């Protein structure tokens, strides 16, 4: 694993760090003061950071489960439903 590439792409970052870096990218892009090549590179980094955040959220969702009563006294794991 290339840790330098991972750090640049956000793959080594936790959720809060990746989200903060993504917010910085968005702020810089919205400023509209970047050269085209820099803007494209920053956009690509933003996409990678966004994907990292989504992957971490997906992982967290899979870990949040509730134990529900199943048939014949057994228990089953079901996805957590915040609405119900």
pLDDT tens readout for residues 28-78 = 999 999 999 999 999 999 999 999 999 999 988 877 765 566 667 666 666
- The residues near 24 (Cβ < 8 Å, ≥ 6 apart) are none
Q: Is the pLDDT of residue 82 over 90?
A: no
Give the pLDDT of residue 62: 75
45 belongs to a structural domain: yes
Give SS3 for 77: strand
How many helices and strands, by DSSP H and E, does the chain display?
3, 2
Strands (E), 1-84: 65-69, 75-79
44 belongs to a structural domain: yes
Give the pLDDT of residue 25: 98
Mean pLDDT of 14-21: 97
29 belongs to a structural domain: yes
52 belongs to a structural domain: yes
**Looking at the 3D structure of the chain, how many domains does it have?**
1
84 belongs to a structural domain: no
* Residue 42 lies in domain: 3-79
């Amino acid at each position: 694993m290339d840790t330098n590439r991972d750090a640049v792409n956000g793959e080594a970052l936790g959720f809060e760090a990746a989200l903060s870096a993504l917010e910085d990218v968005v702020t810089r892009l919205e400023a509209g003061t970047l050269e085209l090549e820099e803007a494209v590179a920053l956009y690509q980094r933003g996409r990678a950071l966004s994907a990292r955040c989504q992957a971490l959220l997906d992982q967290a969702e899979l870990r949040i489960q509730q134990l529900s009563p199943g048939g014949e006294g057994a228990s089953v794991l079901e996805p957590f439903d915040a609405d119900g």
